């Protein structure tokens, strides 16, 4: 049995690479594992040798200490890998298959899964519907920023790449299928982006950039990306986006300079609960700012996609209400403008096969759009630090040197 290493959350601001247990076909006790999941048998699972596993902004929320994540949690929910072992109940996935792993863990059997709502599976997290690898309050499934990882319900969850050699040629692009590409795409779909749309995307991190690329894929006429970080705005501009620097003032005024009118057809929140203010408040945390500004700049009858993460518990929030996930949202404005809102985890399986085909047939260059940058597993702490400092990159961990090799 080979050894295993994983990227472990040690406390606010600190991650380290440690020796970890090699996966078994049973969920063991450990940091963050729900007691009701301990001892759960997994004959339907597969063990993967990790080819690529990405650092996500959602991971960063935990590492900053903005959640109740326990020390010792192995991180990582964006996984691409090669199957090295399957449980006795796995029928169709085979050893040697190269696969993408949706970050949603879903059973394929419950009502929500059968309706395509895989982000809120009813059978994988005893606390509430919905689960993910290596994430706080998600049932305790071990994260995939590791050499090897276990994936339950393998026949259901895994997306097999049809040609292994061809897939390896585009592995950095395909690594985005586990989360940020479908998540950005979902934000645009739920916001109603279509040919000719004008689109405003709050946040130029990897999800925001993936949403921008998705908007173009869906036929948007103008895509406007807003952020505080010049390097990230430059990255958005590099593939055709207009940009808004919210440190300079309210987005509405800058949108009017771009479009000749102060409103857009569609908007996407790719920031979430650690949002900052605009203008003179740009360095101050204002968790409701993005949602309120999106209602302000979206035309009446428009829709707002909200793939940005919001949490039920934020111990680092500036006020008591926000610590419990309560924000001062101008719902009256959204109601008056007949806005449609879509929230929650992206159901990755709704989109990942189609987006895989778009990648394989050169319809999109998602790795270039998000500036995907491979680093070794041992460099993960550095990657987390640089990402936290605002690096305009999507760090892709390469545990076995497969990508660089």
The string of DSSP codes covering 117-161 is: -GGG-SSS-SSSS--BTT-TTTT-PPPSSBSEEEESSHHHH-EE-
Average pLDDT over the chain, rounded to an integer = 94
* Domains identified in the chain, total number: 2
State whether 96 and 185 are in the same domain. Answer: no
| 143 within a domain of the structure (yes/no) | yes
CATH number at residue 84: 3.90.180.10
| 352 within a domain of the structure (yes/no) | yes
Share of the chain above pLDDT 70, in %: 99
Residue 315, number of CB atoms within 10 A of its CB: 11
- Which 3 state secondary structure label does DSSP give 54? strand
Q: What is the mean pLDDT of residues 79-103?
A: 98
Instruction: Calculate the CA dihedral of residues 263, 268, 272, 277 and round it to 10 degrees.
Output: -20
Contact 258, 228 (CB under 8 A): no
Does the pTM surpass 0.85? The reply is yes
Q: What is the mean pLDDT of residues 31-49?
A: 96
| 404 within a domain of the structure (yes/no) | no
Q: Which domain holds residue 20?
A: 4-179+347-397
State whether 89 and 66 are in the same domain. Answer: yes
State whether 14 and 94 are in the same domain. Answer: yes
| 113 within a domain of the structure (yes/no) | yes
Q: What is the mean pLDDT of residues 350-375?
A: 98
State whether 14 and 67 are in the same domain. Answer: yes
| 235 within a domain of the structure (yes/no) | yes
- Asked whether the predicted pLDDT for residue 4 surpasses 70, the reply is yes
Q: What is the mean pLDDT of residues 140-162?
A: 97
State whether 164 and 70 are in the same domain. Answer: yes
What pLDDT was estimated at residue 371?
A: 98
Q: Is residue 226 very low, low, confident or very high in pLDDT (cuts 50, 70, 90)?
A: very high
State whether 280 and 312 are in the same domain. Answer: yes
Q: What is the mean pLDDT of residues 195-221?
A: 98
- Asked whether the predicted pLDDT for residue 322 surpasses 80, the reply is no
Q: Show which of 318, 342, 366 is a domain's final residue.
A: 342
| 403 within a domain of the structure (yes/no) | no
- Asked whether the predicted pLDDT for residue 271 surpasses 90, the reply is yes
Q: Is residue 250 very low, low, confident or very high in pLDDT (cuts 50, 70, 90)?
A: confident
Alpha helix ranges (H) inside 180-280: 180-190, 206-217, 230-237, 251-259
Q: Show which of 296, 311, 342 is a domain's final residue.
A: 342
| 353 within a domain of the structure (yes/no) | yes
pLDDT tens readout for residues 157-205: 999 999 999 999 999 999 999 999 999 999 999 999 999 999 999 999 9
Identify the weakest region by mean pLDDT among 1-5, 20-24, 218-222, 310-314: 310-314
State whether 247 and 380 are in the same domain. Answer: no
Separation of alpha carbons 78 and 206, rounded Å: 13
Q: Which of 68, 219, 47, 51 is nearest to 138 (CA)?
A: 68
State whether 68 and 111 are in the same domain. Answer: yes
State whether 153 and 286 are in the same domain. Answer: no
Query: Which of 35 and 321 is assigned the larger pLDDT?
Result: 35
- Asked whether the predicted pLDDT for residue 280 surpasses 80, the reply is no
| 84 within a domain of the structure (yes/no) | yes
Contact 212, 180 (CB under 8 A): no
Q: Which two tokens stand for residue 377?
A: 């597993």
CATH number at residue 200: 3.40.50.720
Q: Is residue 405 very low, low, confident or very high in pLDDT (cuts 50, 70, 90)?
A: low
């Amino acid at each position: 049995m080979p050894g295993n290493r994983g990227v472990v959350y040690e406390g606010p601001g600190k991650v380290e690479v440690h020796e970890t247990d090699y996966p078994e076909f049973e969920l063991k006790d450990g940091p963050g594992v729900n007691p009701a999941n301990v001892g759960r048998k997994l004959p339907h699972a597969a063990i993967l040798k990790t080819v690529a596993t990405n650092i996500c902004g959602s991971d960063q929320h935990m590492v900053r200490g903005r959640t109740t994540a326990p020390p010792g949690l192995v991180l990582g929910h964006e996984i691409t890998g090669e199957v090295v072992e399957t449980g006795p109940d796995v029928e169709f996935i085979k050893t040697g298959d190269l696969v993408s792993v949706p970050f949603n863990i879903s059973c394929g059997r419950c009502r929500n899964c059968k309706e395509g709502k895989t982000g809120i599976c009813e059978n994988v997290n005893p606390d509430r519907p919905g689960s993910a690898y290596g994430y706080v309050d998600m049932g305790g499934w071990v994260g995939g920023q590791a050499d090897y990882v276990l994936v339950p319900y393998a026949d259901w969850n895994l997306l097999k790449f049809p040609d292994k050699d061809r897939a390896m040629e585009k592995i950095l692009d395909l690594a985005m299928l586990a989360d940020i590409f479908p998540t950005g795409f979902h934000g645009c779909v739920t916001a109603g982006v279509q040919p000719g749309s004008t689109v405003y995307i709050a946040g130029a991190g990897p999800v925001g950039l993936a949403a921008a690329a998705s908007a173009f894929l869906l036929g948007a006429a103008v895509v406007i990306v807003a952020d505080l970080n010049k390097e990230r705005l430059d990255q958005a501009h590099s593939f055709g986006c207009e940009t808004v620097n919210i440190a300079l003032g309210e987005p509405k005024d800058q949108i009017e300079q771009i479009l000749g009118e102060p409103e857009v057809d569609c908007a996407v929140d790719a920031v979430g609960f650690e949002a900052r203010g605009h203008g003179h408040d740009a360095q101050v945390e204002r968790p409701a700012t993005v949602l309120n500004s999106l209602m302000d700049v979206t035309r009446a009858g428009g829709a707002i996609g909200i793939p940005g993460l919001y949490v039920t518990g934020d111990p680092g929030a500036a006020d008591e209400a926000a610590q419990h996930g309560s924000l001062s949202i101008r719902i009256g404005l959204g109601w008056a403008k007949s806005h449609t809102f879509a929230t929650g985890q992206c159901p990755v399986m709704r989109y990942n096969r189609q987006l895989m085909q778009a990648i394989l047939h050169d319809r999109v260059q998602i790795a270039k759009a998000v500036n995907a940058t491979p680093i070794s597993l041992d460099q993960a702490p550095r990657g987390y630090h640089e990402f936290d400092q605002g690096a305009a990159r999507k760090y892709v961990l390469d545990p076995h040197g497969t990508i660089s090799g």
